[in-house]
Amino acid sequence: MNYTIRDARVQDMAQVHQLIHELAVYEKEPDAVEVTPADLERDGFGAEKLFHCFVAEVDGSIVGMALLFHRYSTWKGPIIHLEDLIVTEKMRGSGLGDALLTEVVRYGHQRGVRRINWEVIDWNDPAIAFYESRGAKVLRDWDVVHLDEKGIEIFLSKI
């Protein structure tokens, strides 16, 4: 199979958005996606670039993506957070996930980051096995904490 892993372009964001929705369906949250293609275009390519995205392209179609952003760890210094690595269902097992993750790791290494973080849902055994086979540690003793928009409002109402 011939594929290309490359930096995403603004015109790719509609297809990236489709992949994001496909992941939400897979993770049993089909209505959770609030971001729009226009949001992705603004936030990834506007005056203040909030994320970097790689895409996997086969025959002119975007069939995978990895979206990341920079963070800073008080323990480690500069790190990156891999928000999502998605390969469309029909292309899973083709090596595209490995190629995308490799590009993310190279990107981080070139920028001198000391760690790359991401989350994986606890029932996604194929993804967990894939990440662990590449040397990643899945930290099962940490819980992810989210303060969503409603939570932010509740928090602020109590001060």
- What residues are annotated to the active site? 131
In the chain, DSSP finds a helix count (H) and a strand count (E) of: 5, 5
CA of 125: how far to CAs of 45, 138, 147, in Å?
34, 11, 27
Q: How far apart are CA 148 and CA 137, in angstroms?
A: 27
* Nearest C-alpha neighbor of 63 from the set 130, 3, 125: 3
Q: How far apart are CA 85 and CA 22, in angstroms?
A: 12
**H or E, element range at 79:** strand 77-87
CA angle 49, 111, 21 (to 5 degrees): 45
Helical ranges in 27-148 per DSSP H: 37-45, 96-110, 125-133
